[in-house]
A and B are shown apart, each in its own frame.
Chain A
Amino acid sequence: MSASAALEARGVIARLGLAEVLHGIDLSIATGRWTSIVGPNGAGKSTLLKVLAGLLAHGGEVRLHGQRLDELSGRARAQRLSWLGQGGAGEGSADDLMVYDVAMLGRLPHQRWLAAPSDADHAAVERALRSTQAWEWRDRPLGQLSGGERQRVLLARALAVEADLLLMDEPLANLDPPHQADWMRTVRALVADGKTVVSVLHELNVALAADTMVVMAAGRVTHQGACGDGATHRALETVFDHRVALHYVAGQWLAVPH
C-alpha cells in the first residue's frame, strides 16, 4: 500500500442484484491527481465509483488514505469524500428545493445536526455556486432550471463539501462546451490545491486531458496509466473495438470515432 494513494481497491467484487458486475478490481488512485475512468457502456464504471465512495456493498477492500472505508463512520467519510451521482437530480423529487438549499446540503457533513449554517458554510456554498456559474439562480427552485443548469447546481453541491477527494459520475452530462471547459478549469484548480479528483467520463477528449486514465471493460480494469502514454491509447482503442483513433492536435490528444 503506497502512502501517496488517496484510494486503493484490492480484489473488489460487486453485484447488482444477482449479477456480478465487478470481478476483482485492483486499483490505486494517486493523491493530488485527476484520474478519469473510461470504458464502453456496461463496463462497470459507475458501480466502481459507488464502491469507491462507500455507497455499495462489495467484496474485497477499499482504503481511503490507508484506512478501511467500511471502518469509517458515515460522517467522517462524507467529510473527506464527496460523490456526485449520474444525472442525480432525484428524478424530479428535488424540484421544489431552492438552488441555494441544494448546494447547502453539501455542507451537511460539516454541520452539527440542526445547527444553523455557519459563515464558513455560507462562504463555501457561495464559492461552489460561483465556480459553476450557478450563483445567479440561488433564489430559484431546481425545477425551473434546464438539464444543464441543474447539472451545474448538483456539481456545486458536490463542490460545496470541499472534501479532499471528489468522485464524479458523468459530471459533463448536459453541459455545453463552454461549461465543459469551465468544469475542466475547476478540476485543474482543485488538483493544484492538492485535492484528488476521479471522474467517470464518456467525453474521451476531456478524459484524455486528465493526469491518469483507468480503462475498464466488462467489469475489469484493463489498463491504468498516464493519459499521454502510448500503452494507454492502445488500451483505449482496444476496449472500444478499434472504433476510435487517437490524434495529437493543437497540443492535446483527441479521440476520433470512425
Chain B
Amino acid sequence: MKSQHRRAMVLGIVLMVLAMALLVLGAGIGSTGFENLLAASDDPVALQIVRDIRLPRTLGAWLAGALLGLAGAVAQGLFRNPLADPYLLGSASGASLGVAVALWLFGMSPTSTQWVVRLGLTGAAFLGAVLAVLLTLLLARGVQQTLRLLLAGVIVGVVLGAAKDLLTLTSTDVLQAIQGFMLGSTGLVGWSACSVMGGLGAVCLLLAWVLAPVLDGLALGEATAASLGLPLGAMRAALVAVLALATGAAVAQTGLIAFVGLAAPHLVRSAVKTTHARLIVLSTAMGGLLLMAADLLARWLVAPQELPVGVLTAVLGGSYLLWLMHRRSARGGM
C-alpha cells in the first residue's frame, strides 16, 4: 500500500512543480514570442503586461483546467463510466445557450474587456449551465437512476443546443461571437475571473474530497454502496452539485474546452491506482497543468497569432483517446 501512497504523493508534487514552471514560462510568452522576464522588470509597460494580462491568463488557464479535471473525476466516478465527461449533464449547451441569449438580448460583444460586460456574459453562461443541469435533474426525476440521468443529460444537451443554433442564426454578430465561445479561449481571463474560479474551485474540491468515499463505494455497484450504510441520495445530489458548479464556473470564464475533463482522470489513473479522494485531488492538478500547457502552446505555436485553446485541446485530447483505445484493444479490453 505504501508504494501507491508514495506514487500519488510524488505525482502530486511533480504536477505542482510543473505548473509553477509553466506559470513562470507563461508570464514570459507574449505576442512577440518568448521574452525574458528579468528584462521586463525595468520596463513599466512590459511589467504591466505581465502582471495584468499574462499572469492572470496563465493562472486562469490552470484554474479552468483544474475545475474541468475535478469535474471529470467526479463525473467518471458518479456515472461509473471512464468515458463520462463534465459536460454530460447538459451544462455545456446550457452555458452556450445562456451566452447566446445574453448576446441576443443585450447585443454585447465578448471582445470587450469592460468589467461589467464580462460579468454579464460569464454570469449568463454560468446561469445557463446551472439551469441546464437542473432541467436534466427534473427530467431524470432526481439523481437515483444513473442511466436516466445520462439520457436526460443527452436530451437536454441536444435540445438546448438546437435552441442556441436557432438564436444565433438570427444575427451574424451573435453567430461570430458565439463561435469564439464555442471554441473556448483563455485570452480574456483577468484577475476577477481568477478569483471567481479559485473560490468556487476551492469549495468544489473540498466538497468532492469529503464525498470521495461514496465514489469508492459506488465503484462496487449501487447496491453494495447502499449496503455499506451510505446515504446515497443526499451524497449523490451533492456530487451532482459539485459537478454542475465546477463545470459552470470553468465554462463561464473560458468557453467550451474539450477533452481536459475527460483526459485528466485517465492520465492520473494510468500513473497511479488509488482511491477517489486522491484521484480527485490529482485530477484537479492534472487538468490545470493540461490546460495551462495547451494555453502556452496556443499562444506560442503561431505567434504573434494565437490558436483557440479549445481547438488545441480537442486535437491533443482526441489523439490521446485514440491512443488509449488502441492500447486497450491491444490488451484485449474494450
B218 / chain A contacts, CB cutoff of 8 Å: 90, 93
Asked if A98 and B229 make an inter-chain contact with CB atoms under 8 angstroms apart, the answer reads no
- Which residue of chain B lies nearest to A98 when distances are taken between CB atoms in the complex? B273
A73 / chain B contacts, CB cutoff of 8 Å: 229
Q: Which B residues form the contact surface with A (CB < 8 A)?
A: 1, 3-4, 80-82, 210, 213, 216-221, 223-224, 226-231, 269, 273-275
Per a CB cutoff under 8 Å, which of A83, A109, A141 touches B273?
A141
B226 / chain A contacts, CB cutoff of 8 Å: 55, 74
Chosen A-B contacts, 12 in total, with CB atoms closer than 8 Å, are: A55-B223, A78-B227, A85-B221, A85-B227, A88-B220, A88-B221, A90-B220, A93-B81, A98-B1, A100-B1, A108-B217, A108-B228
7 shortest interchain CB distances as A-B pairs: A78-B229, A93-B80, A74-B229, A83-B227, A94-B219, A75-B229, A141-B273
Asked if B217 and A157 make an inter-chain contact with CB atoms under 8 angstroms apart, the answer reads no
Per a CB cutoff under 8 Å, which of A78, A81, A93, A138 touches B1?
A138
- Which residue of chain B lies nearest to A97 when distances are taken between CB atoms in the complex? B219
Q: Give complex CA distance A93, B213 in Å.
A: 14
Q: Which A residues form the contact surface with B (CB < 8 A)?
A: 50, 53-55, 73-79, 81-83, 85, 88-91, 93-94, 96-98, 100-102, 105-106, 108-109, 113-114, 138-139, 141, 154, 157
Shortest C-beta distance, B215 to chain A (Å), equals 10
Q: Give complex CA distance A102, B230 in Å.
A: 15
Asked if A97 and B224 make an inter-chain contact with CB atoms under 8 angstroms apart, the answer reads no
Shortest C-beta distance, A250 to chain B (Å), equals 37
Asked if B230 and A139 make an inter-chain contact with CB atoms under 8 angstroms apart, the answer reads no
Q: Give complex CA distance A82, B229 in Å.
A: 10
Shortest C-beta distance, A87 to chain B (Å), equals 9
Shortest C-beta distance, A108 to chain B (Å), equals 5
Per a CB cutoff under 8 Å, which of B213, B219, B221 touches A114?
B213
> Given known contacts A78-B228, A108-B229, is B269 in contact with A96 (CB within 8 Å)?
yes
Name, among A88, A90, A157, the residue most crowded by chain B CB atoms within 10 Å (CB to CB): A90
Q: Give complex CA distance A109, B82 in Å.
A: 27
Name, among B81, B231, B275, the residue most crowded by chain A CB atoms within 10 Å (CB to CB): B275
Shortest C-beta distance, A119 to chain B (Å), equals 14
Asked if A108 and B223 make an inter-chain contact with CB atoms under 8 angstroms apart, the answer reads no
Q: Give complex CA distance A93, B1 in Å.
A: 20
Asked if A50 and B223 make an inter-chain contact with CB atoms under 8 angstroms apart, the answer reads yes
| Contacts beyond the supplied A88-B220, A90-B80, A93-B218: 6 A-B pairs with Cβ under 8 Å | A74-B229, A89-B220, A90-B218, A98-B273, A105-B220, A108-B230
Asked if A88 and B223 make an inter-chain contact with CB atoms under 8 angstroms apart, the answer reads yes
Q: Give complex CA distance A177, B40 in Å.
A: 75
Asked if B220 and A74 make an inter-chain contact with CB atoms under 8 angstroms apart, the answer reads no
A100 / chain B contacts, CB cutoff of 8 Å: 1
Q: Give complex CA distance A234, B269 in Å.
A: 54
Shortest C-beta distance, B104 to chain A (Å), equals 42
Q: Give complex CA distance A230, B196 in Å.
A: 74
B269 / chain A contacts, CB cutoff of 8 Å: 96
Per a CB cutoff under 8 Å, which of B3, B81, B216, B231 touches A101?
B216
Asked if A97 and B216 make an inter-chain contact with CB atoms under 8 angstroms apart, the answer reads yes
Asked if A83 and B224 make an inter-chain contact with CB atoms under 8 angstroms apart, the answer reads yes
Per a CB cutoff under 8 Å, which of B3, B227, B231 touches A139?
B3
A77 / chain B contacts, CB cutoff of 8 Å: 229
Asked if B224 and A139 make an inter-chain contact with CB atoms under 8 angstroms apart, the answer reads no
- Which residue of chain B lies nearest to A169 when distances are taken between CB atoms in the complex? B223
- Which residue of chain A lies nearest to B273 when distances are taken between CB atoms in the complex? A141
Q: Give complex CA distance A93, B78 in Å.
A: 10
Q: Give complex CA distance A157, B82 in Å.
A: 23
Asked if A102 and B220 make an inter-chain contact with CB atoms under 8 angstroms apart, the answer reads yes
B82 / chain A contacts, CB cutoff of 8 Å: 93
- Which residue of chain A lies nearest to B82 when distances are taken between CB atoms in the complex? A93
> Given known contacts A74-B230, A97-B275, A139-B1, is B210 in contact with A114 (CB within 8 Å)?
yes
Q: Give complex CA distance A93, B218 in Å.
A: 9
Q: Give complex CA distance A109, B228 in Å.
A: 6
A97 / chain B contacts, CB cutoff of 8 Å: 216, 219, 273, 275
- Which residue of chain B lies nearest to A79 when distances are taken between CB atoms in the complex? B229
A76 / chain B contacts, CB cutoff of 8 Å: 229
- Which residue of chain A lies nearest to B209 when distances are taken between CB atoms in the complex? A114
Shortest C-beta distance, A123 to chain B (Å), equals 14
Shortest C-beta distance, B1 to chain A (Å), equals 5
